[in-house]
Amino acid sequence: MRFSNDGMMIGSSAMVGWIGRGGRAHIKRYYLRGQSSSEVIVNEGQLLATDVAPAVVLYGVNIYLAFQLKFLTPLTQQELLFAFSTATPNNYWLTEHDDKISISFDLSGGLAI
């Protein structure tokens, strides 16, 4: 799941989750400096995590990510990019997506807590 200022991949930050070959769940933060694998940087980016531990759950064929982020200013609109791959990351290197979609998410009706 990518968070983007302009709806594009380059320059965005992402939270990526997967179940590894040994059955262990992983979730990592990435900075997407470019489109090639060498330009995707693990444990970098503009997302600020809270103290709430992230989680990855596999339920049937679906994978669910749970994480909490904090933003310095209230958001009213956010460009989100969703992508998936059937390939498991190797040493945290991500592979090409099998499919992806970009949406503009309206947060203006939410409550600040």
For the segment 51-90, what is each residue's pLDDT rounded down to a tens digit?
999 999 889 888 899 999 998 888 888 888 888 888 888 8
Contacts of 75 (CB under 8 A, 6+ apart): 107
Domain residue extents for the chain? 2-106
Instruction: Give CB contacts under 8 A, 24+ apart, made by 11-16.
Output: 12/81, 13/44, 13/45, 13/46, 13/47, 14/45, 14/47, 14/81, 15/47, 15/54, 15/65, 15/67, 15/69, 16/89, 16/94
Q: Is the pLDDT of residue 46 over 70?
A: yes
- pLDDT of 111: 59
State the pLDDT at residue 110. Answer: 65
3 state DSSP class of 16? strand
Per-residue pLDDT band for 99 (boundaries 50, 70, 90) equals very high
